[in-house]
Structure 1
């Protein structure tokens, strides 16, 4: 499970409580603006055993960003996250999963691991927790799936609860991206 766009002051703590209760670890791709606004949540993510990735500073389109803007967006966020966590932050997810070849080459040159996803429930567009639960119930997970979620959505906690229940019945466990890569 991966989460984008946070940390959100209301939804992320509820999500962290659920993940801790169920013993699930995940990867959070955070925005620099949100990390700067909520540094204690970034620290809590790491203290709870979750992994932090960079999602740019302002959720800028990397297809259109100049090389200077790319360096500023990614570099500023990386420095902030490393300062807050005390650890290297090399995981990176481009906003909307879109990145130009030039930007991708720059990210690799700067030793970032670019992470996309294989399953997207579009939780940010769901209108109700019931819709989220319905998606989770019909989802057919496979080992190695990377699920894109958002810790900024009010339906995500219900969806995550259903995903944990649904996958545990199938014997599938969740892990952080670094564990998956290893």
Structure 2
């Protein structure tokens, strides 16, 4: 090969190499098709939203519409929790679950199960301690730690915050929650007392004796009485024309 020919071949080789490098860098090089089905996308949780005109702590919704919110403290046996969610869905209800961060650490799959059912998922502190007994900084750390778990699992810190081991939040806790990204603290106006294990009929009576338009009901996922009470409770709500919706839907 003559010298001009060798130079031409060298230039052609360099050009080809540069073209290949640019193609790879720009992402246009063909890639092999992935094997197997694409993984299902995680259901995304809604972010907290402010409700103008509503107080910092909300315990009920509008009284002029036949809607109520069944809210569940999220901890306990995950199999029992899934059974409660299934029973709610069979009864046509959408609920709100306020999850404990340590519970999510132990059972991360439950976050997806809650969202796939169309339910609200929120924050019930990281360790379920007496949050009102903490300093504001300690309360913030508890709330923020659970928020971190929720964001990691769902892409959002969740829809609501409910303080642990208390019905009403201290002012320091409300400030800490607001700093962590929650415009409102979620309380309730109807207590089922299911955590005292009074038996399913008593749970039903405790709720039906107090519930009315706009009520927010406190329930728990980790108690068999709650699971047994849910079908007759939902049947009673249906007879009254009350619809069980998420807390977000209740206030919208």
Per the alignment, residue 37 of structure 1 pairs with: 106
Q: How does 1:141-180 map to 2 (within 5 A)?
A: 141-180=211-250
What is the count of residue pairs matched by the alignment?
A: 181
How far the C-alpha of 1:76 sits from its partner, in A, is: 1.0
> Which of 75, 81, 95 is the matching residue for 1:26?
95
How far the C-alpha of 1:98 sits from its partner, in A, is: 3.6
Structure-1 separation of matches of 2:201 and 2:215: 23
How far the C-alpha of 1:34 sits from its partner, in A, is: 0.5
Answer with 67-76 or 41-50: which moved more: 67-76
Per the alignment, residue 152 of structure 2 pairs with: 83
Per the alignment, residue 72 of structure 1 pairs with: 141
Q: Does 1:117 pair with 2:188?
A: yes
Whether the 8 Å CA contact 1:118–1:145 is kept in 2: the answer is: yes
Structure-1 separation of matches of 2:134 and 2:75: 21
Whether the 8 Å CA contact 1:132–1:158 is kept in 2: the answer is: no
Q: TM-score, normalised by structure 1?
A: 0.91
Answer with 36-45 or 93-102: which moved more: 93-102
Q: Structure 1 132/100 Cα, relative in aligned 2: closer, same or farther at 3 Å?
A: closer
Answer with 52-61 or 5-14: which moved more: 5-14
Per the alignment, residue 131 of structure 1 pairs with: 202
Q: Does 1:2 pair with 2:56?
A: no
Q: Structure 1 135/68 Cα, relative in aligned 2: closer, same or farther at 3 Å?
A: closer
SS in structure 1 at match of 2:191: coil
How far the C-alpha of 1:110 sits from its partner, in A, is: 3.3
SS in structure 1 at match of 2:131: coil
Structure-2 separation of matches of 1:88 and 1:132: 31
Q: Please list every run of 5 or more consecutive structure 1 residues that lacks an aligned counterpart in the other structure.
A: none
**Deviating runs (4+, > 2 A) in structure 1?**
108-111, 126-136, 138-141
Answer with 106-115 or 72-81: which moved more: 106-115
SS in structure 2 at match of 1:29: strand
Question: RMSD across aligned C-alpha pairs, in angstroms?
Answer: 1.7
Whether the 8 Å CA contact 1:141–1:167 is kept in 2: the answer is: no
Q: Structure 1 41/15 Cα, relative in aligned 2: closer, same or farther at 3 Å?
A: same
Residues 109-154 of structure 1: CA distance to partner in whole angstroms, max 9, x if unpaired?
3331210001002001123234334445x52531100000000111
Q: Structure 1 18/161 Cα, relative in aligned 2: closer, same or farther at 3 Å?
A: same
Whether the 8 Å CA contact 1:6–1:31 is kept in 2: the answer is: yes
Per the alignment, residue 29 of structure 2 pairs with: none
Whether the 8 Å CA contact 2:132–2:169 is kept in 1: the answer is: yes
Q: From the CA coordinates, give the structure whose radius of gyration is larger.
A: 2
How far the C-alpha of 1:10 sits from its partner, in A, is: 2.7
